[in-house]
Homo-oligomer: A and B are copies of this chain.
Protein backbone atom coordinates (compact mmCIF):
# COMPACT_ATOMS: atom_id res chain seq x y z
CA UNK A 1 0.00 0.00 0.00
CA UNK A 2 2.72 2.41 0.92
CA UNK A 3 4.63 1.94 -2.33
CA UNK A 4 1.51 2.60 -4.33
CA UNK A 5 -0.11 5.34 -2.42
CA UNK A 6 2.35 7.76 -1.10
CA UNK A 7 3.69 7.89 -4.64
CA UNK A 8 4.21 11.57 -4.42
CA UNK A 9 6.28 11.53 -1.26
CA UNK A 10 8.11 8.55 -2.67
CA UNK A 11 8.90 10.41 -5.83
CA UNK A 12 10.12 13.41 -3.85
CA UNK A 13 12.25 11.21 -1.65
CA UNK A 14 13.64 9.42 -4.68
CA UNK A 15 14.48 12.75 -6.28
CA UNK A 16 16.36 13.64 -3.12
CA UNK A 17 18.18 10.31 -3.11
CA UNK A 18 19.14 10.43 -6.77
CA UNK A 19 20.30 14.00 -6.32
CA UNK A 20 22.38 13.03 -3.33
CA UNK A 21 23.93 10.17 -5.29
CA UNK A 22 24.70 12.50 -8.20
CA UNK A 23 26.09 15.20 -5.96
CA UNK A 24 28.50 12.77 -4.38
CA UNK A 25 29.49 11.38 -7.77
CA UNK A 26 28.00 7.95 -7.15
CA UNK A 27 26.81 7.47 -10.70
CA UNK A 28 26.62 3.69 -10.52
CA UNK A 29 24.28 3.92 -7.56
CA UNK A 30 22.23 6.63 -9.27
CA UNK A 31 21.96 4.52 -12.41
CA UNK A 32 20.72 1.56 -10.39
CA UNK A 33 18.20 3.73 -8.58
CA UNK A 34 16.94 5.12 -11.87
CA UNK A 35 16.67 1.64 -13.29
CA UNK A 36 14.23 0.76 -10.52
CA UNK A 37 12.16 3.91 -10.91
CA UNK A 38 8.99 3.85 -13.04
CA UNK A 39 9.00 6.07 -16.16
CA UNK A 40 6.48 8.53 -14.72
CA UNK A 41 8.74 9.15 -11.71
CA UNK A 42 11.84 9.59 -13.84
CA UNK A 43 9.83 12.13 -15.83
CA UNK A 44 8.92 13.94 -12.61
CA UNK A 45 12.57 13.84 -11.56
CA UNK A 46 13.67 15.35 -14.87
CA UNK A 47 11.01 18.05 -14.68
CA UNK A 48 12.15 18.91 -11.16
CA UNK A 49 15.83 19.19 -12.03
CA UNK A 50 18.00 22.06 -13.21
CA UNK A 51 19.33 21.75 -16.80
CA UNK A 52 22.72 20.25 -15.93
CA UNK A 53 21.32 17.57 -13.64
CA UNK A 54 18.74 16.79 -16.34
CA UNK A 55 21.45 16.00 -18.85
CA UNK A 56 23.28 13.77 -16.38
CA UNK A 57 20.12 11.89 -15.43
CA UNK A 58 19.23 11.33 -19.05
CA UNK A 59 22.66 9.80 -19.64
CA UNK A 60 22.15 7.41 -16.76
CA UNK A 61 18.68 6.19 -17.76
CA UNK A 62 18.39 2.89 -19.69
CA UNK A 63 18.06 3.66 -23.38
CA UNK A 64 15.05 1.39 -23.76
CA UNK A 65 13.22 3.48 -21.16
CA UNK A 66 13.73 6.66 -23.20
CA UNK A 67 10.49 6.31 -25.14
CA UNK A 68 8.31 5.77 -22.08
CA UNK A 69 9.90 8.68 -20.26
CA UNK A 70 9.57 11.03 -23.22
CA UNK A 71 5.86 10.23 -23.36
CA UNK A 72 5.44 11.33 -19.76
CA UNK A 73 7.41 14.58 -19.97
CA UNK A 74 5.80 17.98 -20.31
CA UNK A 75 6.21 19.64 -23.70
CA UNK A 76 9.01 22.03 -22.90
CA UNK A 77 11.18 19.61 -20.96
CA UNK A 78 10.66 17.01 -23.66
CA UNK A 79 11.84 19.47 -26.29
CA UNK A 80 14.95 20.41 -24.36
CA UNK A 81 15.88 16.73 -24.12
CA UNK A 82 15.15 15.54 -27.66
CA UNK A 83 17.13 18.43 -29.11
CA UNK A 84 20.22 16.89 -27.57
CA UNK A 85 19.62 13.30 -28.68
CA UNK A 86 21.24 11.72 -31.73
CA UNK A 87 18.68 11.06 -34.50
CA UNK A 88 19.21 7.24 -34.46
CA UNK A 89 18.72 7.12 -30.72
CA UNK A 90 15.62 9.24 -31.04
CA UNK A 91 14.24 6.98 -33.76
CA UNK A 92 14.88 3.98 -31.54
CA UNK A 93 13.18 5.68 -28.58
CA UNK A 94 10.05 6.49 -30.58
CA UNK A 95 9.56 2.89 -31.66
CA UNK A 96 6.14 1.69 -30.61
CA UNK A 97 5.18 5.05 -29.12
CA UNK A 98 1.52 6.07 -29.25
CA UNK A 99 0.78 7.95 -32.46
CA UNK A 100 0.00 11.21 -30.71
CA UNK A 101 3.19 11.14 -28.64
CA UNK A 102 5.20 10.24 -31.72
CA UNK A 103 3.88 13.24 -33.64
CA UNK A 104 4.46 15.41 -30.61
CA UNK A 105 8.12 14.45 -30.39
CA UNK A 106 8.67 14.92 -34.12
CA UNK A 107 7.12 18.37 -34.07
CA UNK A 108 9.70 19.46 -31.51
CA UNK A 109 12.64 18.71 -33.81
CA UNK A 110 14.57 21.01 -36.13
CA UNK A 111 13.88 20.07 -39.75
CA UNK A 112 17.08 18.17 -40.74
CA UNK A 113 16.96 16.00 -37.59
CA UNK A 114 13.27 15.44 -38.13
CA UNK A 115 13.88 14.10 -41.64
CA UNK A 116 16.63 11.86 -40.36
CA UNK A 117 14.48 10.45 -37.56
CA UNK A 118 11.64 9.85 -39.98
CA UNK A 119 14.04 7.95 -42.27
CA UNK A 120 15.29 5.71 -39.48
CA UNK A 121 11.76 4.68 -38.49
CA UNK A 122 10.16 1.51 -39.70
CA UNK A 123 7.56 2.08 -42.40
CA UNK A 124 4.53 1.47 -40.20
CA UNK A 125 5.63 4.00 -37.60
CA UNK A 126 6.53 6.47 -40.34
CA UNK A 127 3.10 6.15 -41.88
CA UNK A 128 1.36 6.66 -38.55
CA UNK A 129 3.57 9.63 -37.79
CA UNK A 130 2.96 11.27 -41.14
CA UNK A 131 -0.77 10.88 -40.74
CA UNK A 132 -0.79 12.44 -37.28
CA UNK A 133 1.51 15.22 -38.46
CA UNK A 134 -0.93 16.14 -41.20
CA UNK A 135 -3.26 17.42 -38.49
CA UNK A 136 -2.81 20.44 -36.29
CA UNK A 137 -1.05 19.73 -33.01
CA UNK A 138 -3.98 21.14 -31.04
CA UNK A 139 -6.69 19.25 -32.91
CA UNK A 140 -8.45 15.93 -32.45
CA UNK A 141 -6.27 14.52 -35.26
CA UNK A 142 -3.13 15.52 -33.41
CA UNK A 143 -4.36 13.88 -30.18
CA UNK A 144 -5.58 10.57 -31.56
CA UNK A 145 -4.08 7.13 -31.54
CA UNK A 146 -4.47 4.65 -34.35
CA UNK A 147 -4.84 1.57 -32.18
CA UNK A 148 -8.57 1.07 -32.75
CA UNK A 149 -10.25 -2.30 -33.05
CA UNK A 150 -12.91 -2.26 -35.75
CA UNK A 151 -15.79 -4.62 -36.41
CA UNK A 152 -18.10 -5.20 -39.35
CA UNK A 153 -21.84 -4.80 -38.74
CA UNK A 154 -22.83 -8.12 -40.29
CA UNK A 155 -20.82 -10.43 -38.02
CA UNK A 156 -22.28 -11.95 -34.86
CA UNK A 157 -21.19 -11.10 -31.33
CA UNK A 158 -20.10 -14.67 -30.97
CA UNK A 159 -17.60 -14.21 -33.79
CA UNK A 160 -16.39 -11.00 -32.18
CA UNK A 161 -15.85 -12.79 -28.88
CA UNK A 162 -13.86 -15.53 -30.57
CA UNK A 163 -11.84 -12.95 -32.47
CA UNK A 164 -10.98 -11.07 -29.28
CA UNK A 165 -9.99 -14.27 -27.52
CA UNK A 166 -7.66 -15.08 -30.42
CA UNK A 167 -6.23 -11.59 -30.33
CA UNK A 168 -5.34 -12.08 -26.69
CA UNK A 169 -4.89 -8.44 -25.65
CA UNK A 170 -6.63 -5.13 -26.23
CA UNK A 171 -4.98 -1.70 -26.53
CA UNK A 172 -4.88 0.32 -23.31
CA UNK A 173 -8.03 2.19 -22.28
CA UNK A 174 -10.16 0.26 -24.74
CA UNK A 175 -13.74 0.54 -23.57
CA UNK A 176 -15.41 0.37 -26.98
CA UNK A 177 -14.93 -1.30 -30.33
CA UNK A 178 -15.88 0.63 -33.44
CA UNK A 179 -18.12 -0.57 -36.23
CA UNK A 180 -17.22 0.44 -39.79
CA UNK A 181 -18.74 -0.45 -43.13
CA UNK A 182 -16.88 -1.69 -46.19
CA UNK A 183 -15.61 1.81 -47.04
CA UNK A 184 -14.17 2.23 -43.56
CA UNK A 185 -16.93 4.67 -42.69
CA UNK A 186 -17.79 4.87 -38.99
CA UNK A 187 -21.32 3.63 -38.34
CA UNK A 188 -21.47 2.81 -34.63
CA UNK A 189 -19.78 1.47 -31.53
CA UNK A 190 -20.09 -1.39 -29.04
CA UNK A 191 -18.88 -1.13 -25.48
CA UNK A 192 -16.96 -3.99 -23.90
CA UNK A 193 -19.68 -4.00 -21.25
CA UNK A 194 -22.35 -4.78 -23.81
CA UNK A 195 -20.20 -7.46 -25.46
CA UNK A 196 -20.16 -9.14 -22.06
CA UNK A 197 -23.86 -8.82 -21.39
CA UNK A 198 -25.74 -9.31 -24.68
CA UNK A 199 -26.87 -12.51 -26.30
CA UNK A 200 -23.90 -13.82 -28.38
CA UNK A 201 -26.11 -14.87 -31.28
CA UNK A 202 -27.06 -11.27 -32.04
CA UNK A 203 -25.34 -9.40 -34.86
CA UNK A 204 -23.03 -6.46 -34.29
CA UNK A 205 -25.49 -4.26 -36.18
CA UNK A 206 -28.24 -5.22 -33.73
CA UNK A 207 -26.20 -4.46 -30.64
CA UNK A 208 -24.16 -1.44 -31.66
CA UNK A 209 -25.04 2.09 -30.70
CA UNK A 210 -25.64 3.75 -34.03
CA UNK A 211 -26.61 7.23 -32.91
CA UNK A 212 -23.04 8.16 -32.02
CA UNK A 213 -21.06 10.76 -33.88
CA UNK A 214 -17.32 10.63 -34.33
CA UNK A 215 -15.14 13.61 -33.47
CA UNK A 216 -14.03 15.47 -36.62
CA UNK A 217 -10.23 15.29 -36.89
CA UNK A 218 -9.89 19.05 -37.13
CA UNK A 219 -11.89 19.86 -33.97
CA UNK A 220 -9.86 21.90 -31.49
CA UNK A 221 -8.47 19.98 -28.52
CA UNK A 222 -10.22 22.15 -25.94
CA UNK A 223 -13.54 21.40 -27.66
CA UNK A 224 -12.68 17.71 -27.58
CA UNK A 225 -12.10 18.03 -23.84
CA UNK A 226 -15.51 19.71 -23.40
CA UNK A 227 -17.21 16.85 -25.24
CA UNK A 228 -15.48 14.29 -23.05
CA UNK A 229 -16.48 16.19 -19.92
CA UNK A 230 -20.08 16.62 -20.99
CA UNK A 231 -20.56 13.03 -22.05
CA UNK A 232 -18.31 11.33 -19.50
CA UNK A 233 -16.49 9.46 -22.26
CA UNK A 234 -13.50 7.22 -21.68
CA UNK A 235 -12.62 7.08 -25.37
CA UNK A 236 -14.14 8.42 -28.58
CA UNK A 237 -13.67 7.76 -32.30
CA UNK A 238 -12.07 10.33 -34.61
CA UNK A 239 -13.32 10.63 -38.19
CA UNK A 240 -12.38 12.54 -41.33
CA UNK A 241 -14.68 14.70 -43.45
CA UNK A 242 -16.06 11.62 -45.18
CA UNK A 243 -16.91 9.96 -41.87
CA UNK A 244 -14.03 7.52 -42.24
CA UNK A 245 -12.65 6.22 -38.95
CA UNK A 246 -9.11 7.52 -38.39
CA UNK A 247 -8.39 6.60 -34.79
CA UNK A 248 -9.51 7.27 -31.26
CA UNK A 249 -8.87 9.65 -28.41
CA UNK A 250 -8.56 8.36 -24.86
CA UNK A 251 -9.39 10.10 -21.59
CA UNK A 252 -5.77 10.15 -20.34
CA UNK A 253 -4.81 12.54 -23.14
CA UNK A 254 -7.93 14.58 -22.52
CA UNK A 255 -7.03 14.95 -18.85
CA UNK A 256 -3.74 16.55 -19.91
CA UNK A 257 -5.63 19.04 -22.08
CA UNK A 258 -8.01 19.89 -19.24
CA UNK A 259 -5.17 20.53 -16.83
CA UNK A 260 -3.20 22.57 -19.36
CA UNK A 261 -6.24 24.63 -20.28
CA UNK A 262 -7.04 25.40 -16.67
CA UNK A 263 -3.43 26.36 -15.93
CA UNK A 264 -3.20 28.37 -19.11
CA UNK A 265 -5.34 31.23 -17.77
CA UNK A 266 -3.33 31.49 -14.58
CA UNK A 267 0.01 31.58 -16.39
CA UNK A 268 -1.26 33.96 -19.05
CA UNK A 269 -2.50 36.38 -16.42
CA UNK A 270 1.08 36.63 -15.16
CA UNK A 271 2.29 37.09 -18.75
CA UNK A 272 3.89 33.66 -18.87
CA UNK A 273 3.80 31.21 -21.73
CA UNK A 274 1.80 28.04 -21.35
CA UNK A 275 4.51 25.59 -20.81
CA UNK A 276 7.02 27.64 -18.89
CA UNK A 277 9.42 25.14 -17.39
CA UNK A 278 10.26 26.17 -13.83
CA UNK A 279 13.77 24.81 -14.26
CA UNK A 280 14.50 26.24 -17.69
CA UNK A 281 17.92 27.89 -18.13
CA UNK A 282 18.21 31.40 -16.66
CA UNK A 283 18.64 33.20 -19.98
CA UNK A 284 15.62 31.52 -21.57
CA UNK A 285 13.42 32.44 -18.62
CA UNK A 286 14.79 35.96 -18.34
CA UNK A 287 14.10 36.64 -22.01
CA UNK A 288 10.54 35.31 -21.81
CA UNK A 289 9.62 37.29 -18.76
CA UNK A 290 11.17 40.51 -20.01
CA UNK A 291 8.41 40.86 -22.63
CA UNK A 292 5.84 41.25 -19.91
CA UNK A 293 8.03 43.61 -17.93
CA UNK A 294 8.42 45.77 -21.03
CA UNK A 295 4.66 45.97 -21.45
CA UNK A 296 4.29 46.83 -17.80
CA UNK A 297 6.96 49.50 -17.98
CA UNK A 298 4.94 51.27 -20.63
CA UNK A 299 1.87 51.09 -18.39
CA UNK A 300 3.83 52.35 -15.40
CA UNK A 301 5.27 55.22 -17.42
CA UNK A 302 1.80 56.09 -18.65
CA UNK A 303 0.60 56.27 -15.05
CA UNK A 304 3.63 58.44 -14.21
CA UNK A 305 2.82 60.68 -17.17
CA UNK A 306 -0.72 61.12 -15.86
CA UNK A 307 0.64 62.03 -12.42
CA UNK A 308 3.05 64.38 -14.17
CA UNK A 309 0.08 66.39 -15.45
CA UNK A 310 -0.55 67.27 -11.83
CA UNK A 311 3.03 68.21 -11.00
CA UNK A 312 2.03 71.63 -9.68
CA UNK A 313 -0.30 70.39 -7.00
CA UNK A 314 2.05 67.52 -6.13
CA UNK A 315 4.80 70.08 -5.61
CA UNK A 316 2.54 72.04 -3.28
CA UNK A 317 1.18 69.15 -1.24
CA UNK A 318 3.42 66.17 -0.53
CA UNK A 319 0.50 64.41 1.15
CA UNK A 320 -1.13 63.93 -2.25
CA UNK A 321 2.04 62.19 -3.46
CA UNK A 322 1.91 59.89 -0.47
CA UNK A 323 -1.74 58.95 -0.93
CA UNK A 324 -1.62 58.80 -4.72
CA UNK A 325 -0.94 55.06 -4.87
CA UNK A 326 -3.87 53.93 -2.72
CA UNK A 327 -6.77 54.46 -5.12
CA UNK A 328 -5.07 52.90 -8.20
CA UNK A 329 -4.01 49.92 -6.09
CA UNK A 330 -7.55 49.25 -4.81
CA UNK A 331 -8.95 49.67 -8.31
CA UNK A 332 -6.43 47.19 -9.66
CA UNK A 333 -7.41 44.58 -7.08
CA UNK A 334 -11.16 45.01 -7.53
CA UNK A 335 -10.81 45.00 -11.30
CA UNK A 336 -8.69 41.88 -11.42
CA UNK A 337 -11.18 40.04 -9.22
CA UNK A 338 -13.90 40.77 -11.75
CA UNK A 339 -11.57 40.02 -14.65
CA UNK A 340 -10.53 36.65 -13.20
CA UNK A 341 -14.13 35.58 -12.72
CA UNK A 342 -15.18 36.67 -16.18
CA UNK A 343 -12.21 34.90 -17.80
CA UNK A 344 -13.07 31.71 -15.95
CA UNK A 345 -16.76 32.01 -16.79
CA UNK A 346 -15.86 32.51 -20.46
CA UNK A 347 -13.69 29.39 -20.45
CA UNK A 348 -16.60 27.42 -18.97
CA UNK A 349 -18.98 28.73 -21.64
CA UNK A 350 -21.09 30.72 -19.17
CA UNK A 351 -21.02 34.10 -20.87
CA UNK A 352 -23.46 34.95 -23.63
CA UNK A 353 -24.98 38.08 -25.04
CA UNK A 354 -28.11 37.66 -22.99
CA UNK A 355 -26.34 37.60 -19.65
CA UNK A 356 -23.42 39.98 -20.21
CA UNK A 357 -25.56 43.06 -19.71
CA UNK A 358 -26.82 41.63 -16.42
CA UNK A 359 -23.22 40.93 -15.45
CA UNK A 360 -22.11 44.49 -16.17
CA UNK A 361 -24.96 45.70 -13.98
CA UNK A 362 -23.94 43.31 -11.24
CA UNK A 363 -20.30 44.33 -11.27
CA UNK A 364 -21.21 48.01 -11.26
CA UNK A 365 -23.44 47.36 -8.25
CA UNK A 366 -20.62 45.56 -6.48
CA UNK A 367 -18.30 48.43 -7.37
CA UNK A 368 -20.80 50.87 -5.88
CA UNK A 369 -21.23 48.88 -2.67
CA UNK A 370 -17.55 48.18 -2.11
CA UNK A 371 -16.66 51.63 -3.38
CA UNK A 372 -18.91 53.21 -0.74
CA UNK A 373 -17.56 51.03 2.06
CA UNK A 374 -13.90 51.65 1.28
CA UNK A 375 -14.48 55.28 0.43
CA UNK A 376 -15.88 55.91 3.90
CA UNK A 377 -13.13 53.89 5.54
CA UNK A 378 -10.26 55.50 3.66
CA UNK A 379 -11.74 58.95 4.29
CA UNK A 380 -11.80 58.20 8.00
CA UNK A 381 -8.24 56.82 8.01
CA UNK A 382 -6.85 59.77 6.08
CA UNK A 383 -8.78 62.29 8.15
CA UNK A 384 -7.46 60.78 11.35
CA UNK A 385 -3.93 60.13 10.10
CA UNK A 386 -3.34 63.42 8.30
CA UNK A 387 -5.98 65.50 10.11
CA UNK A 388 -7.41 66.59 6.79
CA UNK A 389 -11.11 66.01 6.08
CA UNK A 390 -11.00 67.63 2.66
CA UNK A 391 -8.35 65.28 1.37
CA UNK A 392 -10.25 62.43 3.06
CA UNK A 393 -13.30 63.43 1.04
CA UNK A 394 -11.32 63.68 -2.15
CA UNK A 395 -9.77 60.24 -1.77
CA UNK A 396 -13.20 58.81 -0.91
CA UNK A 397 -14.67 60.24 -4.09
CA UNK A 398 -11.74 58.91 -6.17
CA UNK A 399 -12.10 55.48 -4.58
CA UNK A 400 -15.78 55.34 -5.46
CA UNK A 401 -15.11 56.36 -9.06
CA UNK A 402 -12.26 53.91 -9.47
CA UNK A 403 -14.09 50.89 -8.07
CA UNK A 404 -16.98 51.61 -10.44
CA UNK A 405 -14.49 51.89 -13.31
CA UNK A 406 -12.83 48.67 -12.17
CA UNK A 407 -16.13 46.75 -12.20
CA UNK A 408 -17.06 48.07 -15.61
CA UNK A 409 -13.60 47.45 -17.07
CA UNK A 410 -13.36 44.00 -15.49
CA UNK A 411 -16.39 42.82 -17.49
CA UNK A 412 -16.10 44.81 -20.70
CA UNK A 413 -12.37 44.38 -21.39
CA UNK A 414 -12.49 40.59 -21.72
CA UNK A 415 -15.72 40.80 -23.73
CA UNK A 416 -14.15 43.23 -26.18
CA UNK A 417 -10.86 41.33 -26.39
CA UNK A 418 -12.71 38.13 -27.12
CA UNK A 419 -14.61 39.74 -29.94
CA UNK A 420 -11.26 40.61 -31.51
CA UNK A 421 -9.98 37.09 -30.85
CA UNK A 422 -7.35 38.24 -28.37
CA UNK A 423 -6.80 36.01 -25.34
CA UNK A 424 -8.36 37.96 -22.43
CA UNK A 425 -6.19 36.12 -19.90
CA UNK A 426 -3.05 37.38 -21.59
CA UNK A 427 -3.94 40.97 -22.45
CA UNK A 428 -6.77 41.70 -20.02
CA UNK A 429 -4.67 42.36 -16.93
CA UNK A 430 -2.43 45.04 -18.45
CA UNK A 431 -5.28 46.92 -20.06
CA UNK A 432 -7.28 46.73 -16.86
CA UNK A 433 -4.43 48.04 -14.73
CA UNK A 434 -3.89 50.87 -17.18
CA UNK A 435 -7.55 51.83 -16.86
CA UNK A 436 -7.61 51.64 -13.08
CA UNK A 437 -4.29 53.51 -12.79
CA UNK A 438 -5.36 56.32 -15.09
CA UNK A 439 -8.87 56.66 -13.65
CA UNK A 440 -7.54 56.43 -10.11
CA UNK A 441 -4.90 59.12 -10.57
CA UNK A 442 -7.18 61.42 -12.54
CA UNK A 443 -9.99 61.11 -10.05
CA UNK A 444 -7.71 61.75 -7.08
CA UNK A 445 -5.28 64.38 -8.33
CA UNK A 446 -7.82 65.94 -10.68
CA UNK A 447 -10.38 66.47 -7.93
CA UNK A 448 -7.66 67.71 -5.63
CA UNK A 449 -6.58 70.26 -8.25
CA UNK A 450 -10.18 71.45 -8.69
CA UNK A 451 -10.87 71.81 -5.00
CA UNK A 452 -7.55 72.81 -3.53
CA UNK A 453 -6.04 75.28 -5.99
A-side residues, CB < 8 A to B, are 1, 3-5, 7-8, 11-12, 15-16, 19-20, 40, 44, 47-50, 161, 164-165, 167-170, 172-175, 192-193, 195-199, 212-213, 215-216, 219, 223, 226-230, 232, 234, 251-252, 254-255, 258-259, 262-263, 265-267, 269-272, 276, 278-279, 282-283, 285-286, 289-290, 292-293, 296-297, 299-301, 303-304, 307-308, 311-312, 314-315, 318-326, 328-330, 333-334, 336-337, 339-342, 344-345, 348-355, 358-359, 362, 365-366, 369-370, 373-374, 377-378, 381
How many angstroms from the CA of A179 to the CA of B251 in the assembled complex?
25
14 example contacts (A-B, Cβ-Cβ < 8 A) are as follows A5-B213, A8-B349, A19-B354, A49-B355, A259-B259, A266-B269, A267-B341, A271-B337, A272-B340, A278-B345, A278-B351, A290-B373, A293-B374, A307-B321
Q: How far is the CB of A399 from chain B (nearest CB, A)?
A: 10
Whether A334 and B40, one on each chain, are in contact in the complex, defined by CB atoms closer than 8 angstroms, is no
Identical copies of this chain, number:
2
Give chain B residues whose Cβ lies under 8 Å from the Cβ of A330: 293, 296-297, 300
- Which residues on B sit within 8 Å (CB–CB) of A328? 325
CA distance A345 to B303 in the complex (A): 33
* A285 surroundings in chain B (CB, below 8 A): 362, 366
List, in ascending order, chain B residues with CB within 8 A of A164's CB.
196-197
Cβ–Cβ < 8 Å partners of A299 in chain B: 329
Contact of A216 among B5, B276, B344 (CB under 8 A): B5
> Please, how many angstroms separate the alpha-carbon atoms of A322 and B339 in the complex?
28
